[in-house]
Amino acid sequence: MTLLDVENLWVKFPSRHGVFDAVRGVSFTLGKERLGIVGESGSGKSLTGRSILRLIRPPGIMTADHILLEGDDLMTKTERDMRAVRGQRISMVMQDPKFSLNPVMTIGAQIMEAYMLHNAVNKKAAYAKAIEMLEAVSIRVPERVMRSYPHEMSGGMGQRIMIAMMLIPNPQILIADEPTSALDVSVQRQVLDIMDTLVKDRGMGLIFISHDLNLVADFCDRVLIMYAGRIVEVCDADKLREAKHPYTRGLLNSLPRLDEPRARLEVLQRDPAWSEAPSVSGRI
């Protein structure tokens, strides 16, 4: 059951020094699964996520043959139509809740605003729904959190609140852009488990963007590895150790491991052929 179908996505940035192609010919499909997009900085993974929501602002130019959301082509929609898609049908959770939550509004006000934007309900119903969502993300005293401001929350709680806010409108797809990178290791697991449960219970598709190869391998079902704007390899998450592309192997081998001590870490030798080769298709 294909939720999202992206074909030949390009994102270009014209500048004084010429046109820079940040995303080059990326194609993939997303079903009711957890799809990971892994890459280092500059690989174009975040831009890919934002392109799906058509959030690329000028001077950036985004083109694609099509971006089908359950058959509906997002490329043909006007900005007004996209506003009905963003948050409603596709939601996005970003890296640092400090920067994605409004610092001058209480958390309750923000969640209720998000809900009332897409549903014609009164404040009481919105409040009840907000409490319900906060409980769904394992926040123990939701009434107190509703009255608090974002700066009073820890990183992990802030991220859970973001997830609650993003899932209230019941979207079909959640895009998570480095959702746990700003969190401590012990909190990461907790937040990921919550995201996992919610995505499974609601039958959503999840696109998980990260630089952490091991984390993505652990958490996702399928992984796309990006380099220099292209997809260089696609594999099932549990088969990541057997990845074939030299870039993926290089990334895996350059990580220090507690269980395999080595005197020197393997340094990735970048081959220009990796960025020149065409993008591997991530279609199922």
Partner 1 sequence: MSETQSLRAWLLTDTPTSRRHAKFAAAYQGWLSFRSNTMAMIGLWILIFLVFVAIAAPLLAPHDPFEQTLANRLQGLNADGHILGTDSLGRDILSRLIYGSRITLFIVGLVALIAPITGLLVGTVAGYVGGWVDTILMRITDIFLAFPRLVLALAFVAALGAGIENAVLAISLTAWPPYARMARAETLTIRSSDYISAIQLQGAGPLRIITKHIWPLCISSLIVRVTLDMAGIILAAAGLGFLGLGAQPPSPEWGAMISEGRRFILDSWWVATMPGLAIFTVSLAFNLLGDGLRDVLDPKDAET
Partner 2 sequence: MSMLSVENLNVWFGHGRDRVDAVKDATFAVARGESFGLVGESGSGKSTILRAITGLAPDWSGNITVDGKEIGKHREKTFFKTVQMVFQDPYASLHPRHSVDQVLGETLYLHGFTDIDTRVVNLLDDVGLGAKFRFRYPHQLSGGQRQRVAIARALAPAPEVLLLDEPTSALDVSVQAEILNLLADLRTEHGLTYVMVSHDLSVVGHMCDRLAVMKDGEIVEIMDVATLRNMQATHPYSQHLLQASL
Q: Which partner in partner 2, partner 1, none is near 265 (CB below 5 to 8 A by kind)? A: partner 2
How far apart CA 215 and CA 176 sit, in angstroms, is 13
Among 53-61, 102-110, 133-141, 143-151, which window interacts with partner 1 (CB under 8 A)? 53-61
For residue 102, give both structure tokens.
Answer: 């409004």
Binding site for partner 2 (CB under 8 A): 40-41, 155, 184-186, 188-189, 211, 213, 250-251, 254-259, 261-268
Q: Which partner in partner 1, partner 2, none is near 140 (CB below 5 to 8 A by kind)? A: none
Element of type H or E holding 156: helix 155-167
We find the least distance from the C-beta atom of residue 186 to partner 1, in angstroms, to be 27
Is residue 16 a contact point for partner 1 (CB under 8 A)? yes
CB 253 within 8 A of CB 273: no
Q: Three-state DSSP class for 150? A: helix
We find the least distance from the C-beta atom of residue 184 to partner 2, in angstroms, to be 4
In Å, how far are 38, 79, 88, 191, 282 from 84, measured between CA atoms?
28, 9, 6, 27, 27
* Binding pattern for the stretch 75-94 against partner 1, x by CB under 8 A and - elsewhere: --------------------
How far apart CA 90 and CA 175 sit, in angstroms, is 7
Is residue 124 a contact point for partner 1 (CB under 8 A)? no
Q: Alpha-carbon dihedral of residues 109, 114, 118, 119, nearest 10 degrees?
A: -40
Q: Which partner in partner 2, partner 1, none is near 16 (CB below 5 to 8 A by kind)? A: partner 1
Residues that bind partner 1 (CB under 8 A): 16, 57-59
